[in-house]
């Protein structure tokens, strides 16, 4: 076996190496553990690396290859630390969970364990998945491997950075308003939020129940489909989960003939960086080259989506996070003389600023006398946002947009400005409000940092999205080569490593 290039190796390739006997599961796992050892002190992607368990289990897979055969057997994975894992601490990057040791395993993770994947560890996130930069972690700030002075995005920033840095073959994240797609975009990898209900939420520590969805972060579109195939389906423990009308297929499309893509003018109106816009336009040109067409469409309620989201998500969060009261598990404040004091101190000490902010907003929005004005109205906006998409999907097959208006921003540059941080999700969160599937694929670099291209489809159109993304991915030829540079430490090197794309025929 030659040295494995964990920065480039896809799960598809890794599987072939395993099947062909070129590499053992133990060697594969060791390659990732070695890379973790090499770069983790700069990236800080993991909250917990389960190195011993991973090494042991990969050896067991090798030994029991006959019994443990399967499409994912022996492939190492990283799990966002908001999915509970029996016997492995789960923190949500929050002090309030303390050293919480789950007594059960999230359904999606359980499905992977049953398929004999090797868990490398639990990845960092914004506390309770609330954030767009992974800076709201009580544990550490994860860095973007493309530029260590920038954020990886969030909230699945640990999973995205781990995959981008070659510290994981692939990873699971969760997406409430863009928390898979935005960090995937900022880290130059593929990330997908499936249709709401496609993947069980059982064992996903809830942020906003009606918006949360687990999904893959991978190095290729093919890998994305492969992973999604193994985490979906109706779960009797999650009544909001559903069986997809069609199984997720492994994509093979190379052309986009006949595909109609809609570009919502409202998504391009607000604050898209010129470099991001250029890469987006170039990618749209690729769509045409591959036989697709594009048309401008309108999602007129987009401007209200952000407001509605920041009512609904905090409202649900305010109730979801109420269970962290110090009574049964997790952190409990010491020396409280009475119940109310215990509650107040526990929660005061346990939650970080952004979580507290959202609990307060959500509690306020649900209070007597304000419910109709806030929560009630936000739900009506949500319906309108959904109808906008319904209307557009009568005209087009998929909707395209930049995933994030900007490339990775500097660590600390937005932490004092929550509203600017919330704007990071303007192109992604309407998708959660509408419960739709969407993917982000890398479409080039701007200023040396990756740009993400988002494709949104109707409910359960995962196969259509994956096919289109697969064809585009090949045409774009993105080169995943994060440099682990630190722009804050010295002069910035020139842009490199990307497939530069001509901007001809780009929409205005």
Partner 1 sequence: MSAAAILQGKSGAWEPVIGLEVHVELDTATKMFCGCAVTKGDAPNMHTCPVCLAHPGALPVVNRRAVEYATRIALALNCTVRPRNVFHRKNYFYPDLPKAYQISQFDEPLALDGWFEYWSGGEKLRCRVNRVHMEEDAAKLVHAGGEAGRIAGSEYSVVDFNRGGTPLIEIVSEPDILSPAAARDFLQQLRDLVIELGVSECTMEEGQVRWDANISVRPAGSAGLGTRTELKNMNSFRYLQQALESELPRQVDVLEAGGMIDQETLHFDPTTGTTTPLRSKEEAHDYRYFPEPDLVPLVMDPAWVEEVRAGLPELPGARIARLSEQYGLSRADAVVLGGAGVLARFYEEVVARGVDAKLAANWTMGEYLAHLNAAGLEPGHGHVTAERLAALVRLVAEGTVSTSAAKDVFAKMIAERAEPAAIVETHGLGQISDGAKLEAVVADVVAGNPAQVEQYRGGKPQVIGFLVGQVMTATGGRANPKLVNELLRKTLDG
Regarding 210 and contact with partner 1 (CB under 8 A), the answer is: yes
Among 323, 373, 383, 395, binds partner 1 (CB under 8 A): 323
Nearer to partner 1, 27 or 349 (CB): 349
Q: Cβ(152)–Cβ(186) under 8 Å?
A: yes
Regarding 112 and contact with partner 1 (CB under 8 A), the answer is: no
Q: Which of 66, 82, 83 is nearest to 74 (CA)?
A: 66
Q: Cβ(374)–Cβ(304) under 8 Å?
A: no
Stretch that binds partner 1, among 31-39, 130-138, 155-163, 204-212 (CB under 8 A): 204-212
- Smallest gap from residue 378 Cβ to partner 1 (A): 11
Q: Judging by DSSP bridges, how do beta strands 449-456 and 398-402 pair with one another?
A: antiparallel
Regarding 99 and contact with partner 1 (CB under 8 A), the answer is: no
Give CA–CA dist 74/60, Å, rounded: 9
Strand partners, 76: 118
Contacts of 390 (CB under 8 A, 6+ apart): none
Among 247, 322, 353, 373, binds partner 1 (CB under 8 A): 322
Which residues in 433-462 contact partner 1 (CB under 8 A)? none
Nearer to partner 1, 208 or 227 (CB): 208
Nearer to partner 1, 326 or 430 (CB): 326
Give CA–CA dist 19/468, Å, rounded: 28
Count CA within 13 A, CB hemisphere, residue 138.
19
Regarding 367 and contact with partner 1 (CB under 8 A), the answer is: yes
Q: Cβ(154)–Cβ(183) under 8 Å?
A: yes
- Smallest gap from residue 104 Cβ to partner 1 (A): 5
Regarding 106 and contact with partner 1 (CB under 8 A), the answer is: yes
Whether omega for the bond prior to residue 484 falls within 30 degrees of 0, making it cis, is: no
Nearer to partner 1, 103 or 419 (CB): 103
Question: Taking the alpha carbons of 333, 338, 343, 349 in that order, is the dihedral positive or negative?
Answer: negative
Strand partners, 48: 122
Regarding 366 and contact with partner 1 (CB under 8 A), the answer is: yes
Of the candidates 80, 156, 200, 244, the residue annotated as catalytic is 80
Give CA–CA dist 24/11, Å, rounded: 14
DSSP alpha helix (H) spans, 424-488: 429-434, 462-476
Q: Judging by DSSP bridges, how do beta strands 118-123 and 76-80 pair with one another?
A: parallel
Nearer to partner 1, 157 or 362 (CB): 362
Stretch that binds partner 1, among 129-137, 302-310, 320-328, 385-393 (CB under 8 A): 320-328
Number of residues that bind partner 1 (CB under 8 A): 43
Among 21, 236, 245, 274, binds partner 1 (CB under 8 A): 236
Regarding 315 and contact with partner 1 (CB under 8 A), the answer is: yes
* Six-digit token string for 322: 């109420």
Regarding 203 and contact with partner 1 (CB under 8 A), the answer is: yes
Give CA–CA dist 101/207, Å, rounded: 19
Regarding 371 and contact with partner 1 (CB under 8 A), the answer is: yes
Regarding 238 and contact with partner 1 (CB under 8 A), the answer is: yes
Stretch that binds partner 1, among 113-121, 237-245, 348-356, 461-469 (CB under 8 A): 237-245
Q: Across the beta sheet with 46-49, what order do the strands follow?
A: 46-49, 118-123, 76-80, 171-175, 213-218, 190-193, 438-446, 449-456, 398-402, 260-264, 293-297
Regarding 363 and contact with partner 1 (CB under 8 A), the answer is: yes
Taken as a whole, the chain contains a residue count of: 508
Stretch that binds partner 1, among 165-173, 184-192, 319-327, 424-432 (CB under 8 A): 319-327
Give CA–CA dist 191/193, Å, rounded: 7
CA-based angle 60:63:66, to the nearest 5? 110
Stretch that binds partner 1, among 4-12, 234-242, 297-305, 447-455 (CB under 8 A): 234-242
Catalytic residue list contains 60: no
Nearer to partner 1, 118 or 204 (CB): 204
Catalytic residue list contains 80: yes
Strand partners, 293: 260
If one counts every other C-beta atom within 10 angstroms of the C-beta of residue 387, the result is: 14
- Smallest gap from residue 237 Cβ to partner 1 (A): 6
Stretch that binds partner 1, among 29-37, 195-203, 452-460, 465-473 (CB under 8 A): 195-203
- Smallest gap from residue 307 Cβ to partner 1 (A): 17
Which residues in 324-353 contact partner 1 (CB under 8 A)? 324-325, 327-329, 339, 343
- Which residue has tokens 């969030």? 154
Catalytic residue list contains 15: no
Cite the active site residues: 80, 155, 179
Site for partner 1, rule CB under 8 A: 83-84, 90, 92, 97, 100, 102-104, 106, 201-206, 208-210, 236-240, 315-316, 318-319, 322-325, 327-329, 339, 343, 363, 366-368, 371, 375
């Amino acid at each position: 076996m030659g040295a494995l290039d964990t920065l480039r190796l896809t799960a598809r390739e890794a599987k072939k190496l395993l099947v062909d006997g070129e590499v053992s599961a133990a060697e594969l796992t060791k390659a990732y553990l070695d890379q973790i050892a090499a770069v983790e002190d700069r990236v800080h992607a993991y909250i917990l690396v389960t190195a011993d368990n991973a090494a042991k289990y990969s050896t067991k897979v090798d030994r029991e290859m006959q019994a443990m055969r399967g499409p994912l057997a022996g492939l190492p994975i990283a799990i966002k630390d908001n999915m509970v894992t029996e016997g492995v601490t789960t923190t949500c990057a929050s002090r309030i969970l303390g050293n919480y040791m789950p007594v059960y395993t999230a359904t999606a993770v359980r499905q992977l364990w049953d398929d004999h994947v090797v868990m490398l560890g639990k990845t960092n996130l914004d506390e309770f998945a609330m954030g767009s930069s992974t800076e709201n972690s009580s544990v550490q700030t994860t860095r973007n491997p493309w530029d260590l002075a920038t954020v990886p995005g969030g909230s699945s920033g640990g999973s995205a950075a781990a995959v981008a840095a070659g510290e994981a073959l692939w990873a699971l994240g969760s997406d409430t308003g863009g928390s898979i797609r935005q960090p995937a975009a900022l880290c130059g990898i593929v990330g997908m939020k499936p249709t709401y209900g496609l993947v069980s939420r059982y064992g996903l520590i809830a942020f906003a129940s009606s918006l949360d969805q687990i999904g893959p972060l991978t190095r290729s579109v093919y890998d994305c489909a492969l992973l999604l195939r193994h985490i979906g389906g109706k779960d009797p423990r999650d009544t909001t989960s559903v069986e997809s009308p069609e199984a997720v297929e492994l994509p093979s499309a190379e052309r986009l003939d006949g595909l109609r893509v809609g570009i919502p003018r409202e998504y391009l109106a607000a604050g898209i960086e010129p470099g991001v816009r250029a890469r987006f336009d170039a990618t749209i040109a690729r769509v045409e080259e591959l036989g697709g067409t594009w048309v401008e469409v309108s999602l007129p309620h987009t401007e209200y989506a952000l407001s509605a989201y920041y009512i609904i998500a905090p409202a649900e969060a305010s109730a979801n996070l109420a269970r962290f009261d110090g009574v049964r598990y997790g952190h409990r404040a010491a020396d409280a003389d009475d119940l109310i004091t215990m509650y107040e101190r526990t929660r005061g000490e346990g939650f970080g600023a952004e979580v507290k902010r959202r609990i307060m907003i959500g509690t306020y929005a649900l209070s007597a006398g304000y419910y109709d004005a806030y929560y009630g109205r936000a739900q009506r906006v949500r319906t309108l946002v959904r109808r906008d998409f319904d209307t557009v999907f009568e005209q087009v097959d998929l909707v395209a947009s930049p995933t994030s208006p900007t490339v990775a921003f500097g660590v600390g540059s937005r932490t004092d400005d929550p509203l600017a941080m919330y704007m990071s999700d303007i192109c992604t969160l309407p998708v959660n409000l509408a419960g739709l599937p969407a993917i982000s694929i890398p479409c080039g670099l701007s200023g040396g940092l990756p740009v993400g291209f988002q494709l949104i489809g109707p409910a359960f159109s995962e196969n259509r999205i994956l096919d289109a993304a697969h064809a585009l991915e090949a045409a774009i030829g993105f080169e995943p080569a994060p440099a682990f540079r630190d722009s804050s430490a010295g002069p910035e090197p020139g842009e490199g490593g990307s497939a530069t794309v001509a901007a001809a025929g780009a929409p205005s």
